[in-house]
Amino acid sequence: MARCMMTDKARRLSGRIRPGLPGLSVLALAMSVTSGSVSAHWAYVSNEKDDTVSVIDTETNEVVKTLEVGERPRGVTLSHDFTRLFICASDSDTVQVMDVSNDSILFELPSGEDPEQFALHPDNRHLYIANEDDAIATVVDIETHEVVSQIDVGVEPEGMAVSHDGKYAIVTSETSNMAHWINTETQSIVANTLVDQRPRDAEFTPDDKQLWVSSEIGGTVSVIDTETREITQKISFEIPGVTRDQIQPVGMEITDDGTLAFIALGPANHVAVVNGESLEVIDYILVGRRVWHMALTPEQDKLYTTNGVSGDVTVIDVASLKAEKTIKVGRYPWGVTILPKAHIPQ
């Protein structure tokens, strides 16, 4: 899913038992899924060309409702207490805040122009927003609804991430080919790391020791050391029968224990699975057309991918690394975030 993943991750790390991967516990979970008790979360999927958000029940894997939102919704994320859904309504130039309990829009945040992706600081208060058309990043206080700061960044800011310890916010700029490191205390840029062409997503490893940045046109994922802010390794991809030009890494998801990473490869229509330690690609999973972003369930047993061109969501079983089901949603699904079962309104 969008950079909004940081949110989910920070929350997941804060209080939940993490199953080993792939092990017996996953199997046990999978079995209990069939008994219908564990995995009934809600996946919120933004449909960029329909101005809607589809809500999928992860037990039945069916769309349970479709919500009308602002124009061109892209990034979606949940507050750390799971009461609110934040939606980047890019063409409405706003971030909408939805009350999860009744689907009403509570208020809109002053996001700056053309918000695309965002990340919520672990303080559950500061939302970092990339303003794609304006070469700035906007920091909004979600309590006071005020803009705390606007930071000049490179051309077409896109990906957003906040480290789990809250020290850094990262924004990637697509045409400047940089990851900008923002000190969240001073709200100023402290470093810039040049990466390959058209960086999209940024993701910290769970221990914050590495920052991963995907480059859509460069076709690589740069693994950056958080201390030196220099690239230590580049991961590249090769799929038989798919030309190199089609391999365009976009969204990334790293499991909570850091053992696996999933990289959405856009028009290659595959998700790459990377070993978090050796950084080797261990598998490619065929999904729908032009896969954008992904979200893992809290149990880490299922991965939901948004497939823009085919207008659907693929469910991947993490233990077997197999695609299990395709769910039709709206036109051009883009972002996805998952609301855990315990927080679903009754």
Q: Which of 70, 75, 115, 154 binds other proteins (CB under 8 A)?
A: 154
Pick the piece of the chain touching other proteins (CB under 8 A) from 99-107, 122-130, 191-199, 277-285.
191-199
Residue of 132, 201, 299, 312 interacting with other proteins (CB under 8 A):
132
Contact between 176 and other proteins by CB under 8 A: the answer reads yes
Contact 287, 267 (CB under 8 A): no
Total of residues contacting other proteins (CB under 8 A)? 28
CA 196 → CA 14, 75, 131, 213, 252, distances in Å? 33, 23, 21, 9, 16
Binding residue (CB under 8 A) for other proteins from 175, 187, 236, 259: 175
Do residues 60 and 43 make contact, with C-beta atoms less than 8 angstroms apart? Answer: no
Round to whole Å and give the CA distance between 83 and 345.
9
- Comparison of 133 and 256: residue with beta carbon closer to other proteins: 133
Question: Which listed residue (48, 93, 174, 301) binds other proteins by CB under 8 A?
Answer: 174
Question: In the window 240-269, what residues touch other proteins (CB under 8 A)?
Answer: 243-245, 248, 267
Q: How far is the CB of 224 from other proteins (least distance, A)?
A: 16
Sign of the torsion angle spanned by Cα atoms 281, 286, 289, 293: negative
| Ramachandran area for residue 82 (φ above 0: left; ψ -120 to 50: alpha; else beta) | left
CB of 153 to other proteins, least distance (A): 8
Least Cβ distance, residue 23 to other proteins (angstroms): 40
Query: Could you tell me the strand order of the sheet in which 322-328 lies?
Result: 291-296, 302-307, 312-317, 322-328
Helix, strand or coil for residue 228?
coil
Angstrom distance (rounded) from CA 207 to CA 110: 32
CA distance 177 to 154: 8
Among 173, 222, 307, 310, binds other proteins (CB under 8 A): 173
Cβ 103 to other proteins shortest distance, Å? 29
Q: Contact residues for other proteins (CB under 8 A)?
A: 132-133, 135, 152, 154-156, 173-178, 180, 189, 192, 194, 196-198, 216-218, 243-245, 248, 267
